[in-house]
């Protein structure tokens, strides 16, 4: 009797399970398809924002990138995927500047951790979602990211030229004033007669005036020059007092 009951129970549960399965199948039968028909839908497919396919340098509309060849990305890459080659170039301002020569990236060893992107101080990198990167040899996965021709250093504007000239002059004048103050200090300490440094005084004054004029607008520089001048004046007064005392004896 018990076995007949078990038989009908298991028959009932089998029918229920069958109906449940048919319910799922029926639902999926009318649900819109979500599978992709790649590559037929290549033109219309929207790739997710977060998808990381390949590293690239960000170029603006004028063909400039922001990489300053600091090497931070290279140092932070855990796989040695990036190699930065830099060079020194002359700038129109007459100085030297470090510039990116080759940005080499090996897609074959990249783990897409994005450390390079997040640590770049200038925001020069990003991941594109161009995933179609199949090649026949690993060597073809090594890419040069700075692929556009290098541009010459931009010429200085007249304002920049004037600013640089003023800065240079201010530096020279400040150095002269400092040297004059130091000389006076040394002479005072050595108790030298005041007659010898007398001709140098106007020069220091000229230099000081020039330095102050050039440092106009830069309170820090101006304060430094004034402090040096005050020190020199104090020493001069000290020297003269010592000389007078000597004469009174």
Cα–Cα distance, 162 to 39 (Å, whole number): 59
Q: Is the peptide bond before 39 cis (omega within 30 degrees of 0)?
A: yes
From the CB of 112, what's the least distance to ligand SF4, in Å? 5
Instruction: Assess 58 for contact with ligand SF4 (CB under 6 A).
Output: no
Q: Residue 157, exposed/middle/buried by CB under 10 A (0-12, 13-18, 19+)?
A: exposed
104 binds ligand SF4 (CB under 6 A): no
Q: Would you say 104 or 166 has its CB closer to ligand SF4?
A: 104
Question: Vertex 49, ends 109 and 139: CA angle to 5°?
Answer: 20
Binds ligand SF4 by CB under 6 A, chosen from 54, 84, 215, 235: 84
Phi, psi values for residue 168, rounded to 5°: -65, -45
The residue among 110 and 170 lying less far from ligand SF4, judged by its C-beta, is 110
Which of 209, 223, 216, 198 lies closest to 176, judged by CA?
A: 209
Q: Which is nearer to ligand SF4, 117 or 172 (CB)?
A: 117
Which of 53, 58, 59, 72 forms a contact with ligand SF4 (CB under 6 A)?
72
User: What is the C-alpha to C-alpha distance for residues 137 and 16, in angstroms, rounded to an integer?
Assistant: 55
Q: Quick one: which segment of 22-30, 34-42, 116-124, 233-241 binds ligand SF4 (CB under 6 A)?
A: 116-124
- The least distance separating ligand SF4 from the CB of residue 46, rounded to whole angstroms, comes to 23
Q: Which residues bind ligand SF4 (CB under 6 A)?
A: 55, 67-73, 76-79, 81-82, 84, 110-116, 120, 122, 124-125
């Amino acid at each position: 009797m018990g076995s007949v009951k078990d038989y009908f129970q298991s028959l009932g549960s089998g029918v229920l399970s069958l109906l449940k399965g048919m319910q799922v199948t029926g639902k999926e039968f009318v649900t819109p398809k979500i599978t992709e028909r790649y590559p037929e839908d290549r033109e219309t497919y929207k790739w997710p924002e977060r998808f990381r396919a390949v590293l690239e340098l960000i170029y603006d509309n004028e063909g400039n990138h922001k990489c300053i060849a600091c090497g931070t990305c290279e140092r932070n890459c855990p796989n040695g995927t990036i190699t930065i080659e830099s060079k020194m170039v002359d700038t129109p301002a007459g100085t030297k500047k470090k510039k990116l020569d080759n940005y080499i990236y090996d897609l074959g060893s990249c783990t897409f951790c994005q450390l390079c992107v997040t640590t770049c101080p200038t925001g020069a990198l990003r991941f594109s979602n161009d995933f179609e990167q199949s090649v026949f040899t690993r060597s073809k996965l090594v890419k040069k990211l700075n692929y556009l021709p290098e541009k010459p250093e931009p010429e200085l504007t007249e304002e920049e030229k004037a600013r640089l000239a003023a800065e240079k002059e201010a530096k020279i004048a400040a150095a002269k004033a400092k040297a004059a103050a130091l000389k006076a200090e040394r002479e005072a300490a050595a108790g030298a007669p005041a007659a010898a440094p007398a001709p140098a005084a106007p020069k220091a004054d000229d230099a000081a005036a020039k330095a102050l004029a050039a440092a106009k607008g830069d309170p820090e520089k101006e304060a430094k020059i004034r402090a040096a001048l005050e020190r020199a004046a104090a020493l001069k007064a000290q020297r003269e007092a010592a000389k007078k005392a000597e004469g009174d004896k």
